[in-house]
Structure 1
């Protein structure tokens, strides 16, 4: 298959090379783009889902460190240069208006699309065979263009790596040998030299052809790499495969290759990748045997363990409540496995017994004991994930597992402080805020390079005005919070928590395009995490992307049998903003024990439905709860309380805010004189 840069589709078609140094051609004539920003903008539009985006977002992506006037002027110059270059080359697929820039999908092609399309069609693109770690070459030379663009680029490289890995793994057969399968294995090793399933396939095929020496050479290369870079050995399955190969007939014996092939048939079956996407359900860990002062370790470990599982696209993940009933299974139900954990204290250490069982027949597949200690926090998570993957016959490479331990070089005290702070933040209650402040704020000085701690600090600063009734958002503090969020991203751009924290910071600054960009990246990085989906959906709803918001919210609730209080509260707000007033009322049927600010969504929804008596009762309850927990400088009058309620949530669309204000007014709130938005 010809690459996009080698051959244009037809006259006037744009062909882009994005893997490696950027290049562009129209009808085999190279286009010279004057600046790196022009190349980056073209590549960004080509890789976007809809091949278009707003000028606002592009300004934030390519000129994040420039003032707005200079950034806009620079964008106008780049657009002018692109128009001139494309017009001179005869390419008519670039469109620019006052709001948006677009690159016509029908009139362009690029090598990234071709590589992905080939894998989806069951073939291996030649570029994957002749280039090692090819995803790391995506837009090489443009890494340091701008901090925001670098974050986007690092994320895109990882997502491309994951997509190609999954597609190529599907090309590995359950048995037998084929040119396509060998090519897929070679391509996988080019992407990730620690990919043992690909290595096992190549070892088997070499041995089946009688090339035992070649098979052993592949194994030695894998052993040396794992030992040098990861300080681990190949898996038990790989070692058993090598033992079996060494027991095969010697070089002088007849029909060596057929004998080896027949002998390895069972091994091939044993090592085959799983054919279906799985569902892993994680139960609440039983912690009655753990002292109260140590239970935050159990809760924190389970939360982080679920987050680790959710990073892998080979399976879907959901959490189960302490008490739950199994769902009826049908022929269309996905394979489901349940992770259960019980904990107890032994000599000052929390011991965890983890069990994995098949949901269909309750057969225990694997069980093991682990110690939950801060010294081996990430290592324990890694071992459990690896053991679950092996039990389910799914391969997770050493390189991918290593990403779980990012930020592991921190002190025990810092990690413990972070866990305690997270536990307090999730309550979103004013009574916990002094303790949360003492824990979270101190992390910035003591752990400047621990990305989760910085994201937690950003989270604390971004929601303080919600947890403390009467406090208004302070725009003067947002730039400092933004710098902390950007630092967290720079430390770990592949952490969905960091992306989400940055998205909310931009939302509070009124920078919608950058907010929705990073919310989308958070979902791309962790599409199985219910809270990532719900929080990103809330941002989309605030910014007027109602269809996407509703979809993310529904998916979040679908994969969470018993949603958390924040999930329920956010889903109600999303339904109101999507004009689903009945759905908003249904989602808010209980007292969530959270900030009284969340009552206003149901109150306004009932008013719009004509249920005015109920709306007035809800408003009265909200006013009373806010007044009893007031932290503002002004007195908690009905006017000041209403002003706080209407400014507590960062709604970006004026008409949505006006609908909320109209609902509260119908319920009796004094909304006169209150203006839209603090920005």
Structure 2
């Protein structure tokens, strides 16, 4: 929003910190209107502010603040906020031809101070406003759950969305007011991008020439398809020039952005080191397909086959590996978004005989041929229409795809539907809610069985952790985890030669969802693991993610996978000897199987923290390059694995390329937004990058996914909380870590020193010196000053002021 803040009255809707509905309204094309007729625009906004005050009071809310082009308002209930929004949009649309507002609504806890509202829920509402169509309203999933059925039916799902600079994935719903803007910003230069099969640009019905440079074309495509249509310039620099120095990359990127700004016109905004593409001025065919699908209108491309997704921007030309990786991720996002939107439409229709159902289910199967839920409902509809032969052809195609891709057979209820014997099984999940699966400790009745089950369990966790749509809670973590998990996965085996019985059950009722005996002998373990992971995916009809499970281990020799898992387990010990053995294992695996991406990522990860495990060891250029090369190879082999992205992010940060680190940290979180393993590492990464608010949100989301973290993850949390200024929180996290990582007493000492607890701080720092001295990688014992310097320099903390603050706290602990 632009303009000057105008303070509102002191009346509160409810006490600060209590859940409230937050509403942002913003005038579309404010700058354009001001340039055309400043006086008329200002008069219009003053009239609107008076209208907003009157309507908010009648809907049990209040306007907290106004800016030159919009408002922030709070309401006691979500229903009232939505009623206000719809009332406003109708009145504005009826009374004015030239103007339109976007409105975004979220609900959550709010802190009020100095005539303003703060908090994560407020930030989400502001981002949702940017997704709304002119004259429309965009609301969060939490808001739509509060609405009655008639009001809810006015909104269509937009599918999974990323909101700029906010962690996680969101599921917004949109009310399109039908505003066509015949004169609302008339004469604007609207560009229409056709990205399927290449990149073409049209304006005013005519084909338009492309930007001259490849860099400008890449940036146009990236910003047009980005969820928020905006990105930090540093991250764009890392995308265009991943191998260049940050300064050189930024110089090139800024030149490309200036070219793009001249090409797009007023639809391109550069401010505060962020590039923004106004979606009112630039639209894409893919975006229109998704919007139409959310309203039940299927574009012909959805019914023509599924290969069109892989052809998005296929004609962009020669691009670097970073752009290639982004293209893969973007296509995956489009696929997931469309399936989510179509699933919602499929569930909305209750009658399989409805002609719309046939189109929706065929569209889903074109994109995801193994989607049993869509296949069941399509077969029932075809049988109802008397087309039994086509129903059986759908079943045969499904069966062939399941067998060839996953080695599975259709579920019993699917086979029954094909035969006309049953209706679809009821859904076992809320399609919009991420699931939490707790993988219990597997139980063997002998030492040999226990060892084999431990290896099998590690493979299961590795496979399940790669899904984007659920979180995996590791181990038996007590009543807290049971109460907040959706499903429990357990296994038992009576002897080394007996099959293992895997059971997936509902956490709340104990109902058995799936149980199967699997042979987990050395030769059979890879296929059994893939079968278990795929079958669990089948239970939730989340096939869109199933290809990610074991994508880099499918067809790999079991001994290689087992050796890699052993190396991964060694890394969790955080000792010098364990790391030395693990690194040797990863290097051996790479020599035997150079195409095995996890080994490259694990090698990079081990090298990235070797100087922490072996304090005193100097991190040299050769070691840094070795880690960066390994992570680059991992990403090239599998760009859609969050582990590989994390390895590249940390390798880049330790080399001082923070822009590239931020870009890949973003992608890692985006690839696996519900994995505690990924989120804990991302939270620490964002903290070291100086993005403390985001780090705190990611850490909280991590705790939401797995209320009880592993001990080393609590060490990560301690650093996040300290750098974010929460010293008490840092102490609590450090206390829960059991000092799993040798640096943990250092964060404790720094937090205690800042709290003025000098004696305790000194004791913790002395403990750090003692622990570090025992494993110091040098010829002589370290002095306290040497330990301090090692601690301060061990982490890729981006900003000097934050490193200085850490050093100051440790100096206080030493005194």
Using the size of structure 1 for normalisation, the TM-score is 0.85
Cα gap change, 1:487/1:211 in structure 2, threshold over 3 Å: closer, same or farther?
same
CA contact (8 A) 2:643 2:668 kept: yes
Q: Note the aligned Cα RMSD (angstroms).
A: 3.1
Question: Structure 1 residue 241 and structure 2 residue 417: aligned?
Answer: yes
Cα gap change, 1:166/1:27 in structure 2, threshold over 3 Å: closer, same or farther?
same
Cα gap change, 1:455/1:278 in structure 2, threshold over 3 Å: closer, same or farther?
closer
Cα gap change, 1:198/1:371 in structure 2, threshold over 3 Å: closer, same or farther?
same
**What corresponds to 2:328 in structure 1?**
154
Q: Equivalences for 1:634-649 in 2 at 5 Å?
A: 635-649=781-795
Question: Structure 1 residue 81 and structure 2 residue 298: aligned?
Answer: no
**What corresponds to 1:363 in structure 2?**
511
Question: Structure 1 residue 22 and structure 2 residue 199: aligned?
Answer: yes
CA positional deviation for 1:560: 2.0
**What corresponds to 2:358 in structure 1?**
182
Separation in structure 2 between the aligned mates of residue 64 and residue 374 of structure 1, nearest angstrom: 41
Question: Structure 1 residue 317 and structure 2 residue 471: aligned?
Answer: yes
Separation in structure 1 between the aligned mates of residue 468 and residue 259 of structure 2, nearest angstrom: 40
Question: Structure 1 residue 101 and structure 2 residue 275: aligned?
Answer: yes
Cα gap change, 1:360/1:59 in structure 2, threshold over 3 Å: closer, same or farther?
closer
Instruction: Tell me whether 425-434 or 135-144 shows the greater mean CA deviation.
Output: 135-144
* SS of match in other structure, 2:609: helix
**What corresponds to 2:461 in structure 1?**
306
CA contact (8 A) 1:175 1:272 kept: no
Q: What do the CA deviations read for 1:498-547 (whole angstroms, capped 9, x no partner)?
A: 11111111111121221122122112221221010010011101111111
**What corresponds to 1:549 in structure 2?**
695
Question: Structure 1 residue 653 and structure 2 residue 799: aligned?
Answer: yes
Separation in structure 1 between the aligned mates of residue 703 and residue 403 of structure 2, nearest angstrom: 43
Query: Number of aligned pairs?
Result: 630
CA positional deviation for 1:76: 4.8
Question: Structure 1 residue 430 and structure 2 residue 585: aligned?
Answer: no
CA contact (8 A) 1:607 1:664 kept: yes
**What corresponds to 1:481 in structure 2?**
627
* SS of match in other structure, 2:578: helix
Q: Equivalences for 1:381-420 in 2 at 5 Å?
A: 381-390=529-538, 392=539, 394-397=540-543, 400-401=546-547, 403-420=549-566
Separation in structure 2 between the aligned mates of residue 326 and residue 476 of structure 1, nearest angstrom: 46
CA contact (8 A) 1:57 1:513 kept: yes
Task: Select which of 345, 356, 381 maps to 1:171.
Answer: 345
CA positional deviation for 1:323: 5.6
Separation in structure 2 between the aligned mates of residue 399 and residue 591 of structure 1, nearest angstrom: 32
Q: Equivalences for 1:285-300 in 2 at 5 Å?
A: 285-287=441-443, 289-291=445-447, 297-300=452-455
CA contact (8 A) 2:658 2:798 kept: yes
For structure 1, the 5+ residue unaligned runs are 245-263, 670-679
Instruction: Tell me whether 458-467 or 435-444 shows the greater mean CA deviation.
Output: 435-444
CA contact (8 A) 2:382 2:388 kept: yes
Cα gap change, 1:588/1:229 in structure 2, threshold over 3 Å: closer, same or farther?
closer
CA positional deviation for 1:660: 0.7
**What corresponds to 1:459 in structure 2?**
605
CA positional deviation for 1:225: 4.7
CA positional deviation for 1:159: 1.9
Separation in structure 1 between the aligned mates of residue 752 and residue 270 of structure 2, nearest angstrom: 43
Separation in structure 2 between the aligned mates of residue 466 and residue 327 of structure 1, nearest angstrom: 31
CA positional deviation for 1:290: 4.5
CA contact (8 A) 1:283 1:341 kept: no
Question: Structure 1 residue 618 and structure 2 residue 795: aligned?
Answer: no
Q: Equivalences for 1:206-605 in 2 at 5 Å?
A: 206-226=382-402, 233-244=409-420, 267-270=422-425, 274-276=429-431, 277=433, 279-287=435-443, 289-291=445-447, 297-313=452-468, 316-319=470-473, 321-322=475-476, 324-325=478-479, 336-347=486-497, 351-390=499-538, 392=539, 394-397=540-543, 400-401=546-547, 403-590=549-736, 592-605=738-751
CA positional deviation for 1:552: 1.0
CA positional deviation for 1:623: 0.8
Separation in structure 2 between the aligned mates of residue 632 and residue 60 of structure 1, nearest angstrom: 37
Separation in structure 2 between the aligned mates of residue 437 and residue 427 of structure 1, nearest angstrom: 13
Using the size of structure 2 for normalisation, the TM-score is 0.71
**What corresponds to 1:135 in structure 2?**
309
Separation in structure 1 between the aligned mates of residue 764 and residue 404 of structure 2, nearest angstrom: 63
**What corresponds to 1:259 in structure 2?**
none
Separation in structure 2 between the aligned mates of residue 324 and residue 469 of structure 1, nearest angstrom: 35
Cα gap change, 1:378/1:209 in structure 2, threshold over 3 Å: closer, same or farther?
same
Cα gap change, 1:100/1:127 in structure 2, threshold over 3 Å: closer, same or farther?
same
CA contact (8 A) 2:194 2:285 kept: yes
Separation in structure 1 between the aligned mates of residue 675 and residue 744 of structure 2, nearest angstrom: 23
CA positional deviation for 1:45: 1.7
Separation in structure 2 between the aligned mates of residue 405 and residue 84 of structure 1, nearest angstrom: 43
For structure 2, the 5+ residue unaligned runs are 1-175
Cα gap change, 1:310/1:327 in structure 2, threshold over 3 Å: closer, same or farther?
closer
Cα gap change, 1:226/1:596 in structure 2, threshold over 3 Å: closer, same or farther?
closer
